[in-house]
Amino acid sequence: MKCLPPSNRIFIPVFIDIWPDGFFMPANSHFAFDLIGLGYCGLDHICLMPSIPQDDKVEILEHLVQGGGPAATATVAAARLGMRTAFLGVVGDDPSGAAIVKGLEMEGVNTQSLRVCSDTRSPAAYCWVESGNGKRGIGWTRGTVGSLQPASLKIELLQSVRLLHLDGHHMAAAAHAARIAKSGGATVSLDAGSFLDGIEDLMKLADLLVVSSSFADRFLGRLPPARQVEKLMSHGARIAAVTLGSEGVCAASREGILQRRAFAVQAVDTTGAGDVFHGALAYACLQNWPLARMIDFSSAAAAIKCLKLGGRTGIPTRTEVERFLEERKNEPR
């Protein structure tokens, strides 16, 4: 098995002169990318069904195939919000791998350093979505591509980014990338949705640490969310949060602790909502907004995504998020 970056792609850095000073603004002002995602990328096969069958057959109402993966979809969300993005991951040289790469590139995500491994099967996920409530079940596979290796990472690329976003996959490469990025002044964001081997060491490198409620319960014990985020902050994060699904999110920073309800929407599909939340939160952090605005903006982006089938179909632009927030400004949170 031989892994190579996709051919005939040219990396052209775009440099800027000045970023305003701020809490999440690195000291070095010259960055080619706002956000680089590193982690799992796969091809999602999504089926909308009247009900999710158990030892039964159900006719599919709607079916679509599109790119997915926690860090990959978060990177797409950041790109739609206007950020300059790139993605690091591994795919096979099969038709699914080509579709994954094409899906990222169509969103303006730079894939110059995404690895393509010969004679391997790409990662994939199979999602069953229940019509009427958006609830879903997901089965996923890493395929046969193996892990991204630390030696394959380009130091100059990782030192040209303002924020590195990780999802806990490719653990050794993720930790190595985080150290390189931080040495260049970047913020490191971690989506700890699953309890993967080595995740505790990665948490110590995260400036922006967001975990799922199930992760928090397993790692910290069944405590009130406010107590859980306090404990997460002790790992060194500047912002920590626990996502609570339909109950919203509890977050903490040096500004204090806040808990926000989720925006009420008629969900078509919740697939990818958490990933979009992470991409939007990374965007919000780099705007140096107050914590409450960061959380509201990210929650709104995730809610809008849920209005359409697919993890990426409904990802909004900044204009759409701001319009949604204006329409919901009097809604109790």
Q: Is residue 17 pLDDT above 50, yes or no? A: no
Whole-number mean pLDDT of the chain? 90
Asked if residue 160 is part of any domain, the answer here is yes
The pLDDT value given to residue 155: 95
Asked if residue 87 is part of any domain, the answer here is yes
CB-based contact 66:313 (threshold 8 Å): yes
Helix boundaries (H) for 207-310: 213-220, 225-233, 273-286, 291-305
C-alpha–C-alpha distance, residues 88 and 100, integer Å: 12
pLDDT in tens, 248-296: 999 999 999 999 999 999 999 999 999 999 999 999 999 999 999 999 9
pTM of the shown model: 0.91
The pLDDT value given to residue 24: 55
pLDDT in tens, 75-119: 999 999 999 999 999 999 999 999 999 999 999 999 999 999 999
Q: Is residue 27 pLDDT above 60, yes or no? A: no
Asked if residue 8 is part of any domain, the answer here is no
DSSP helix/strand/coil, 39: coil
Asked if residue 7 is part of any domain, the answer here is no
User: What are the E-state strand segments in 50-195?
Assistant: 62-68, 85-88, 90-92, 115-117, 124-130, 136-141, 161-166, 187-192
Please give the average per-residue pLDDT across 227-244, as a whole number: 94
Give 251-257's long-range contacts (Cβ < 8 A, gap of 24+): 251/291, 251/294, 251/295, 252/226, 252/291, 253/291, 255/290, 255/291, 256/291, 257/226, 257/229, 257/230
Tokens of 224: 């009130």
Amino acid at 4: L
Q: Which domain holds residue 310?
A: 32-327
Asked if residue 62 is part of any domain, the answer here is yes
Asked if residue 126 is part of any domain, the answer here is yes
In this structure, what DSSP letter does residue 133 have?
A: T
The pLDDT value given to residue 327: 95
Domain count, the chain: 1
The pLDDT value given to residue 321: 98
Q: Is residue 230 pLDDT above 60, yes or no? A: yes
The pLDDT value given to residue 100: 98
The pLDDT value given to residue 246: 82
CA distances from 214 to 124, 193, 203, 235 (A): 23, 8, 16, 18
Asked if residue 10 is part of any domain, the answer here is no
Q: Count the residues in the chain.
A: 333
The pLDDT value given to residue 194: 78
CATH number at residue 227: 3.40.1190.20
pLDDT in tens, 109-163: 999 999 999 999 999 999 999 998 888 899 999 999 999 999 999 999 999 999 9
For the chain, give percent helix, strand, coil, nearest 5.
30, 25, 45
Please give the average per-residue pLDDT across 204-213, as a whole number: 96
The pLDDT value given to residue 74: 98
CB-based contact 148:89 (threshold 8 Å): yes
Q: Is residue 312 pLDDT above 90, yes or no? A: yes
Asked if residue 321 is part of any domain, the answer here is yes
Which residue reads 């040209």 in tokens?
160
